[in-house]
A and B are shown apart, each in its own frame.
Chain A
Amino acid sequence: MTAAVVAEELVETRIGKIEVRRGGSGKPIVYLHSAAGEGAGLAFLDELASTRELFAPMFPGFGLSEGIEQIDDMEDAVFHLLDLFDRLGLRAPDVMGLSLGGWLAAELATRYPDRLSKLILANPAGLYIEGAPIKDIFGRSPKEMAQDLFADMSHPAAQMMLRINDEMSNVAALGQAIPFELLKPQLQSMAATARVGWNPYLHNPKLRKRLARITAPTLVIRGEKDTLIPAPHCETYAREIPGAKLVEMSGVAHMVSMEQPKELAALVNEFLGS
């Protein structure tokens, strides 16, 4: 197995330039990131690119991707994704999404089932389930968030969130302790997420009844320790998508692609085949 080079490029779309990470060769797979905007330096992308051709676009408003002002809801986001697929020459790639990205993937798969081959939803958002709400991501402290996102708090990304938490709680030092440049990506990606997920909160009330329309073979992956999106969400997806399989990864929380890149890639490869 040769080390795949994942490089980023800017792709022109109808709503502006979109940052896309590409690498590897083989059957194409699209990875749609979560509201955390993971991508740069994500080892999981290298894992995927070692066996297939990888495309990992940044959602408008994340990273260098433009055009968020033209996205008001998931319908806009799906049309943007179709446009991007066309420009990348992707007819029906395998599509994998984590959390927010999982929701987007499910919206695509319900509306345009012929534009993807296989579907992988990891800790997907997108549904409202009574009695099992998705925890708040827009108003809680980085510390509270980190505890839902990571099973292992020594993960560098969890540590970074704790550091920001400490510095933000010192009001007198605000605006000095944390350089604005450090906060900027976080502010941008949360603002972009709010555009599609503020209200209804991280779900589309119409999505659930549409899941039966998905024709792609589907794998739903749940991080055992994910406390952000409770288990019934993955279970509902797996139950309502015809023929879908549900697997649980142990010792990992919400950010499965950050915490267990190798294990996750093995699961994905096993499901997709060669």
Chain B
Amino acid sequence: MRFFSFHLMPYPKLPADYDGPAWVTCPNEFFDPKVGHEVYNRYLDELVYADELGFDGVCVNEHHQNAYGIMPSPNLMASILARQTKNVKIAVVGNALPLYDPPTRVAEEFAMIDNISGGRLIAGFVVGGGPEYYSFSINPAHARERFQEAHDIIIKAWTEPGPQEYIGKHYKLRFLNTWPKPMQKPHPEVWIPGVGSLETMEFVAKHHYAYMGIPYFHIDVFDRSFRLFREACEREGYTYEPKQAGWLAPIYVAETDEQARAEYEEHFWYFVKRLLPGINIQPPGYTSLRSMENIMKGAGTFAIGLNTWDQVEEGVYAVVGSPETVYKKLEENLRRLGTGNLLGLFQLGTLPADLTKRNLELFAREVMPRLRERFPEGKAMLEAKEAVA
């Protein structure tokens, strides 16, 4: 089992009387650079602290024009982390490839981060969230084609000698010859996050990459997604390895269950009720009909519809409690999902610095070692009968 501390870098100060979406049209007059200065530095400190506490990696991601995560350029954050951390993998999960034109930019910046960090980059590629297609006015009907072409360009740039030519439908590059190239050979580990699109799973399975399940749905939806992903690997003629799957979940540890919930709940609801609205907008043509049908099956469990803490607990939307409780819940669900990477959101919504710090410490000291022992790296995680769905 590998443990990652994932930071969304949320904007914690939306006005109390604003009840609109946190995405695309959320007025940027709400953004206060004083708050920005404070939280950017604080959030980076929290990721650096995860390195000191012995996590295997830290994760940053890319979103635009929103209050949910004020990280339009995760590569800037990753380059700082490349210098300020010593041991952790730096997972950029990911760059939204169709938004880069030409996508050679991603090949270049990722290679820079890999060089600076001494080969610690995990290269995440994403199609980009639905809102990004509004924010960038990129045609969602071309999302998958552009993603595919951009991916091919980046992998070619990293693995084949240049200069070479790439002539696709969306990108035409007469001289593809990226300097620098990544330190890791043949290229950094590739992660692809997804919400249940079948095309994405098939793509990940085909290339032997890793599939990261995006949270905010009932645990049964994750279960189904990873099952579909394992089936996609089987269709490619191999059995998935746990390191090819990651479960992303909000995690909060305190001394007791009661204390954990009392400290955490309001911050969780700020995230769910204030920062999630708008994330689920589906631009036309962004997802194929068969994937849309699959996604719709889980749509009713989307976290925005949550109203009670019991629902949160029942659907494992967040793993909250004493070290013992958090261990048990994680152990049970990791065994069920078969994911060899655990991506924890240890800061969420308005969760303040002191609680985030203690959360990371308690997790690293009292939960992580037990889970490491329980799930040794490289070992199968699912019961034999479950391994092949």
The answer to whether A and B come from one shared complex is yes
Query: Chain A interface (Cβ within 8 Å of chain B)?
Result: 72, 138-139, 171-176, 180, 183-184, 187-188, 190-195, 198-199, 201
Query: Chain B interface (Cβ within 8 Å of chain A)?
Result: 24, 133-134, 137-142, 281, 283-285, 289, 292-293, 296-300, 302, 304-305
CB-defined contacts of A180 to chain B, threshold 8 Å: 292-293, 296
Nearest-neighbour CB distance to chain B for A29, whole angstroms, equals 30
Q: Do A193 and B296 have beta carbons less than 8 Å apart? A: no
Which residue on B lies nearest to A181, using beta carbons? B293
A175-B299 contact given A194-B139, A195-B139, A199-B137, CB 8 Å threshold: yes
A194-B300 contact given A138-B284, A171-B305, A187-B292, CB 8 Å threshold: no
Question: What are 26 A-B interface contacts by the 8 Å CB criterion?
Answer: A138-B284, A139-B281, A171-B299, A171-B302, A171-B304, A172-B305, A174-B296, A174-B299, A174-B302, A174-B305, A175-B296, A175-B300, A176-B300, A180-B292, A183-B296, A193-B284, A194-B139, A194-B141, A194-B284, A195-B139, A195-B141, A198-B137, A198-B141, A198-B283, A198-B284, A201-B137
Q: Do A195 and B285 have beta carbons less than 8 Å apart? A: yes
Q: Do B284 and A190 have beta carbons less than 8 Å apart? A: yes
CB-defined contacts of B289 to chain A, threshold 8 Å: 184, 187-188
A191-B284 contact given A139-B134, A171-B302, A171-B305, CB 8 Å threshold: yes
A175 to B298, CA, bound (A): 7
CB-defined contacts of A175 to chain B, threshold 8 Å: 296-300
Nearest-neighbour CB distance to chain B for A36, whole angstroms, equals 13
Q: Do B300 and A172 have beta carbons less than 8 Å apart? A: yes
A190-B285 contact given A139-B24, A199-B138, CB 8 Å threshold: yes
CB-defined contacts of B284 to chain A, threshold 8 Å: 138, 187, 190-191, 193-194, 198
CB-defined contacts of A183 to chain B, threshold 8 Å: 296
A194-B140 contact given A138-B283, A138-B284, A187-B284, CB 8 Å threshold: yes
| Cross-interface CB contact of B139 among A172, A187, A199, cutoff 8 Å | A199
A180 to B297, CA, bound (A): 9
Q: Do B140 and A198 have beta carbons less than 8 Å apart? A: yes
A194-B305 contact given A171-B300, A174-B300, A187-B292, CB 8 Å threshold: no
CB-defined contacts of B296 to chain A, threshold 8 Å: 174-175, 180, 183
CB-defined contacts of B292 to chain A, threshold 8 Å: 180, 187
CB-defined contacts of B141 to chain A, threshold 8 Å: 191, 194-195, 198
CB-defined contacts of B305 to chain A, threshold 8 Å: 171-172, 174
A198 to B285, CA, bound (A): 10
A270 to B307, CA, bound (A): 59
Nearest-neighbour CB distance to chain A for B46, whole angstroms, equals 31
CB-defined contacts of A194 to chain B, threshold 8 Å: 139-141, 283-285
Which residue on A lies nearest to B137, using beta carbons? A199
Which residue on B lies nearest to A193, using beta carbons? B284
CB-defined contacts of A188 to chain B, threshold 8 Å: 289
Q: Do B285 and A191 have beta carbons less than 8 Å apart? A: yes
Nearest-neighbour CB distance to chain B for A70, whole angstroms, equals 11
A109 to B133, CA, bound (A): 32
Which residue on B lies nearest to A183, using beta carbons? B296
CB-defined contacts of B299 to chain A, threshold 8 Å: 171, 174-175
Nearest-neighbour CB distance to chain B for A122, whole angstroms, equals 23
A194 to B300, CA, bound (A): 26
